[in-house]
Amino acid sequence: MSDRIRCNCRRCVIRGLMGPAVVVTVGVLFLLDQLRGGYLSFGDTWPVILVVIGLISLASALAPTDGHVGGPVPPAPPGTTPTPPNPYVNQGQGSGR
Ligand SMILES: [Zn+2]
């Protein structure tokens, strides 16, 4: 248990799954490498890790940030849909340029 304030907005929850998902993916790929004896060798299946990272990043970028707490909203990767403004942030600081 950590003393950090855990944000429960969907973006932070999905982003928190990145590490465990990569570890599980690497484990499964090594397991397949062992089970099939070279037919599904890790040298051939490692791009799956990139796919998993990309899918989680995409899901995180598309997820809403309603109820985000603890600092600025993590930025979405470039080329993705911008997020709606956080209703808890003080607005009205002039029109955007
Ligand atoms: Zn959050």
Chain-centroid distance, C-alpha 82: 16
Residue 37 CA to ligand 1 center (angstroms) comes to 43
**Distance from Cα 70 to the centre of ligand 1, integer Å:** 7
97-to-11, 63, 92 alpha-carbon distances in Å: 26, 25, 13
Residues 20-67: tens digit of each pLDDT: 999 999 999 999 998 866 688 999 999 999 999 999 999 999 999 999
CA of 34 to the centre of ligand 1 (A): 39
**Ligand 1: centre distance to CA 83 (Å):** 12
pTM comes to 0.65
CA of 73 relative to ligand 1 center, distance in Å: 6
